[in-house]
Structure 1
């Protein structure tokens, strides 16, 4: 069976701490019932239908919940069944090439058990389990605290993704200030925006899931445990806020770059117009003298050449001063 870990935790006589019961938890047909105050924590990774049916018989899981748990394309949700609570969460991983890959982790929460069914995620819960086992006082709070811990572990995985994408977006934003983005960069921006829209569609409902667990009365969630789910809700909201801000940044990069490019083109156009105006004066005067008429008074004037040069220099100097003053040169 694709069981990553199957362990039982029992409280001390005072009920202030819980410790792992030694030995593996046997899930065959003759497994021992869960004692009062204890709970089982089962971690499954991509189980088959037969393996899932075996676990379902032991813990009385609802067939509809089993069907949803084995479908890795479910949206995040919370369903209340008669004997257990069913929660679906979505995981996300940023792969090379800035591609977001999604997985699914489904939870069955009962009075004396919590079962996680993981698909498509490489972030195992073994490290989290070791951390919780090292804190027996928290572990004594029961299976609902374990559910909170795993949800918090999943949601915290969103933040590094936002960190990496924000670094990419800020680098492109700085580059766009100096030069208009190339086609390759623009295509990259639109790919990232498409990835973020998909992230919002797939992971966005996690906010509603955590809000329901934190703000409403849900069976099998102790009212004193809601504060822990509020912390998860805060992390989800923070990740989604950063995602929306990142979408706005990517959208603004192209818009801002276009405005800056228009400004740069406007400056170049003004400079070209200014130089064209300067060249127009000698061109016009030279064009007049190039008409080859015989009767032109200036042609016989001894100082005409120097006067014409002086006029050209004076007019061009005045135009140059004027263009410099208005910022065209």
Structure 2
């Protein structure tokens, strides 16, 4: 699907399907490709004459956020996050002063929001193609916050899980799942932060005062998101280490108790083994008080070892 907005010389905003339908002089136009067919994608090559490499980057998948300068336009790759699946989705932007072309394979709420804002704005005539792009970028970055907040809330909720009847194994598994989600969103936010920084500090893009203020605002949001993600990752690492340490502590206690039981029964087993031998000449076997004496010796050894272990604070 293709949709087009364009500003004519009279500062009037109009809409049509394909840019080929425009029959008048224009100041700029915005062409949005969503789930474009092969025939529609042909316009990238024939109508706009974009470089084949940039077209390949746009039509392929899983491109990292970046921007690149070509002869008469700039090419940007943004990464949005799907509101349902939490999967990254690519938004590609071709831009110069005369047009902005957005290309995405799925519906992009960020592009739709910028589209609606432009149509509803009372200052349409003051908008430029770069203003539109930064509006899309701002909406893209703002949409990261719900996911970052949700993951941070999950991290904080672990503090309340101690009173819940749940096994350590389940908590460890949930922690690793949470770290996987944090890693996924980190792979999106960090490159976007680098992209915005490069635009702010680079010389390829001439920024107006208004655009620079907006980019600083976007950059501040990205810095905050990165800090929240890193803080959550550190907390999950601490939670994981704490539960592993707790599990090791429990296992050590169990092993210590079993070892103490084993040590106590070792001399008793020796005594029983000795008097269980089938020799004919064993004087103690014919002694009237032999059975009682063996019991007393074993009880004395058991009590003595328990007292010794207590004094050593082994349990």
What TM-score, normalized by structure 1, do the two folds share? 0.69
Partner of 1:261: 247
Shift of 1:267: 1.1
> In structure 2, how many angstroms separate the alpha carbons of the residues matched to 1:300 and 1:55?
108
* Larger helix fraction of residues: 2
1:295 aligns with 2:283: yes
> Residues 310 and 9 from structure 1, CA distance in 2 versus in 1: closer, same or farther, beyond 3 angstroms?
farther
Q: Displacement, 1:116?
A: 1.5
Quick check: 70-79 or 204-213, which moved more? 70-79
Deviations 1:2-60 (A, max 9, x none): 12452548998xxxxxxxx365247335432224xxx43332213345434547776x5
Structure 1: give runs of 5+ residues left out of the alignment: 13-20
Q: Which residue of 2 aligns with 1:80?
A: 69
Aligned to 2:20: 28
Q: 2:34–2:104: 8 Å Cα contact kept in structure 1?
A: yes
Q: Secondary structure at the match of 2:91?
A: strand
| Residue matched to 2:34 | 45
Report the equivalent of 1:103. 89
Contact 2:9 2:26 in 1 (8 A): no
- SS in structure 1 at match of 2:26: coil
| Equivalenced residues, count | 309
Distance 1:32 1:322 in 2: 100
The question of whether the paired residues in 2 share the 8 Å contact of 1:61 and 1:83 is answered with: no
Aligned to 1:17: none
Q: Is the 8 A contact 1:85 1:220 kept in 2?
A: no
Label 1:219 to 1:298 Cα distance change in 2 as closer, same or farther (>3 A): same
More off after superposition, 248-257 vs 157-166: 248-257
| Alpha-carbon distance between aligned partners in 1 of 2:92 and 2:276, rounded to the nearest angstrom | 89
CA distance in 2, matches of 1:117, 1:297: 97
- Residue 3 of structure 1 corresponds to 2
Alignment of 1:11-22 (within 5 A): 21=12
Q: Which structure's relative contact order is higher, taking Cα pairs within 8 Å and 6+ residues apart? A: 1
Q: Deviations over 1:108-150 (max 9, x none)?
A: 2322433321223553532343345555469835332221121
- In 1, Cα distance between equivalents of 2:176 and 2:8: 49
SS state at 2:256 partner: helix
Query: Quick one: distance in 2 between partners of 1:323 and 1:168?
Result: 44
Q: Say if 1:238 and 1:327 are closer, same or farther in 2 by CA, change over 3 A.
A: farther
Asked if 1:125 is matched to 2:114, the reply is no
1:62 aligned partner: 50
Out of 142, 146, 155, which is 2:132 matched to? 146
For 2:287, what is the secondary structure of its paired residue? helix
Q: Which blocks of at least 5 consecutive residues in structure 2 are unaligned? A: none
Alignment pair present for 1:156 and 2:142: yes
* TM-score, structure 2 normalization: 0.72
How do 1:109-258 and structure 2 match up within 5 A? 109-123=95-109, 125-131=111-117, 133-134=119-120, 136=122, 140=126, 142-165=128-151, 179-181=167-169, 185=173, 189=176, 193=180, 204-243=190-229, 257-258=243-244
* 155-164 or 198-207, which deviates more: 198-207
